[in-house]
A = this chain, B = another copy of it.
Amino acid sequence: MRYTIVGMGLMGTAVARALASSGHDVAVWNRTHERAQVLESHGITAYEDVESAVDHAETIVLVLLDQATAFEVLGGQVDRIAGKAIINLMTGTPQEAAEFSSIAAQYGARYLDGAIECYPHHIGSPEALINLSGDAEVWAQHEDALKSVAGLSTFVGADPGAANVLDAALAGTFHSVALGALCEALAFLKAAGIDPAGPEVSIEYALEVFKEEALHLVAAVASDDFTTTEATLEVYLGAVRQWRSSMLASGQRASLMTAHLHNLEIAEAAGHGALGFGAQVLTTSSHRA
């Protein structure tokens, strides 16, 4: 199988090197040729023109910035892509994946969408994860190659948007917001004169307790069972009001804490106060029930 990787940023470069070092036939193309050329010492063919790069490939792997860039690069190549597979590792919206999939089909190409769930320095390791969705046959043909790039690579569904939904939910809504919450917490500690890396700050402990509770939460939400024998949503609401007061009193804006309070208030107003914390998933929709 001949691969052409398009886009030699940090991530594209890591993908090309991992694929080549596991014995695959790899060519690359990049708008700025120098960034492609440096890979020739790794047994990779660097094309100066995108036409030759596309012609070389049975499978085109896109590691570009966004959908607009992808359409711009491939726009002049539509008569070259029939019969090939496109694996698009750009993280976009589920709607963009659906759009790309349907355009690819129109020109006779098969389409697999991916979302890379790790940093460039993880690429090539057994612990790296790329979620892929779309054409199940393309996945089956490339599973081994993709696992040489990211050992935990997983096919998450035939809907091309599924990988991007998982990305928006886990990397976005969970990971990014939770890190933002940690920023608010650390700023609050610093404002109180406490060193966030000091021995009295039990970050590792907090992360362990969080992990345990997060897994309980997933089980509760998956089973739609929000009954609890521990703290109810109402009890959390009281605690959140008090924590927020402490933050405001110390001069913090407490933006995430305020949005969190709002989520819990909406859940309580909907009558879920006596259920567990996870019952707030019943009221996160923007539509009235």
Q: Which A positions have Cβ atoms within 8 angstroms of B? A: 91-95, 117-120, 129, 131, 152, 154-157, 161-162, 164-192, 194-197, 200-207, 209-211, 213-215, 217-219, 221-223, 230, 236, 239-240, 242-260, 262-264, 277-278, 280-281, 284-287
Q: Pick the residue among B176, B191, B287 that contacts A285 (CB under 8 A).
A: B191
* A contacts with B: majority SS: helix
Determine if B178 and A210 form an interchain contact, defined as CB atoms under 8 angstroms apart. Answer: yes
CB closest residue in chain B, given A238 = B66
Residues of B within 8 A of A248 (CB): 286
Given A240-B176, A263-B255, do A218 and B186 touch, yes or no (CB 8 Å)?
yes
Determine if B196 and A218 form an interchain contact, defined as CB atoms under 8 angstroms apart. Answer: yes
Determine if A174 and B170 form an interchain contact, defined as CB atoms under 8 angstroms apart. Answer: no
Determine if B179 and A277 form an interchain contact, defined as CB atoms under 8 angstroms apart. Answer: yes
| Complexed CA–CA distance, A250 and B162 (Å) | 13
Residues of B within 8 A of A259 (CB): 255-256, 258-259
Determine if A179 and B246 form an interchain contact, defined as CB atoms under 8 angstroms apart. Answer: no
Q: Pick the residue among B91, B156, B183, B251 that contacts A200 (CB under 8 A).
A: B156
| Complexed CA–CA distance, A251 and B288 (Å) | 11
Determine if A184 and B177 form an interchain contact, defined as CB atoms under 8 angstroms apart. Answer: yes
Identify which of A166, A195, A262 gathers the most chain B CB atoms within 10 Å of its CB.
A166
Given A248-B286, A255-B263, do A240 and B172 touch, yes or no (CB 8 Å)?
yes
Instruction: Using A174-B181, A256-B259 as known contacts, list a sample of 7 further A-B pairs with CB atoms less than 8 Å apart, ordered by residue number in A.
Output: A93-B249, A168-B247, A173-B247, A176-B239, A187-B221, A188-B284, A204-B215
Residues of B within 8 A of A187 (CB): 221, 281, 284-285
| Complexed CA–CA distance, A197 and B230 (Å) | 22
Nearest Cβ in chain B — how far from A265, in angstroms?
10
Determine if A253 and B174 form an interchain contact, defined as CB atoms under 8 angstroms apart. Answer: no
Determine if A173 and B257 form an interchain contact, defined as CB atoms under 8 angstroms apart. Answer: yes
Complex A-B, nearest 5 residue pairs according to Cβ-Cβ distance, in ascending order:
A172-B243, A197-B222, A259-B259, A178-B178, A177-B181
CB closest residue in chain B, given A263 = B255
Determine if A174 and B182 form an interchain contact, defined as CB atoms under 8 angstroms apart. Answer: yes
Nearest Cβ in chain B — how far from A281, in angstroms?
4
Determine if A246 and B284 form an interchain contact, defined as CB atoms under 8 angstroms apart. Answer: no
Q: Pick the residue among B180, B200, B249 that contacts A260 (CB under 8 A).
A: B180
Given A192-B94, A222-B197, do A164 and B255 touch, yes or no (CB 8 Å)?
no
| Complexed CA–CA distance, A167 and B211 (Å) | 17
| Complexed CA–CA distance, A164 and B214 (Å) | 23
Nearest Cβ in chain B — how far from A178, in angstroms?
4
